[in-house]
Amino acid sequence: MKYKIKSRIWIEADNNVLLGEGRVHLLKAIQETGSLSKAARSLNLSYKKAWNLLDSVNKSAKKPVTVNSIGGKGGGGAQLTDYGLSLIRAFDEINKNCWDFLDKQLEKIEHI
């Protein structure tokens, strides 16, 4: 039996969570489906929860992460801004780097 090191990182703005793993999943699903409600369904979360998450992200980010439209063809929709895309890219990169880093730290506990 071996010990494992796990981690979770997130980006904060003004002591509010801006982006964590769940929020990134949601944003990616919005990118793929073109709407918040479809994204919520695809991730098996209630529309309300998804809306709260997205609202919180947009409120704490420096610039809008999505553009949401109400009404019109198809009832409306949501899509990521370039800013949102660059945030996701940065998060993914830092997250991966963190995993790799912790992998190297494993040697510090493997003899324990």
Partner DNA sequence: AATCGTTATATCTAAGCAAATATAGCGAAA
Partner DNA sequence: TTTCGCTATATTTGCTTAGATATAACGATT
Q: Does 112 bind DNA (CB under 7 A)?
A: no
- Give the residue with the Cβ less far from a copy of itself, 69 or 97: 97
| Among residues 10, 31, 38, 83, the one that binds DNA under rule CB under 7 A | 38
Least separation, in Å, of the C-beta of 101 and DNA?
29
Least separation, in Å, of the C-beta of 33 and DNA?
8
Q: Does 102 bind a copy of itself (CB under 8 A)?
A: yes
Q: Choose the one of a copy of itself, DNA, none that binds residue 73, judging by a C-beta under 5 to 8 angstroms depending on kind.
A: DNA
Least separation, in Å, of the C-beta of 87 and a copy of itself?
6
Contacts for 18 with CB less than 8 Å, ≥ 6 apart: 10, 11, 12, 57, 60, 61, 87
Parallel/antiparallel/unpaired status of strands 76-80 and 66-70 = antiparallel
Least separation, in Å, of the C-beta of 12 and DNA?
18
DSSP string, 32-85: HHSSHHHHHHHHT--HHHHHHHHHHHHHHSSS-SEEEEESSGGGEEEEE-HHHH
Q: What are phi and psi of 22, to 5 degrees?
A: -65, -45
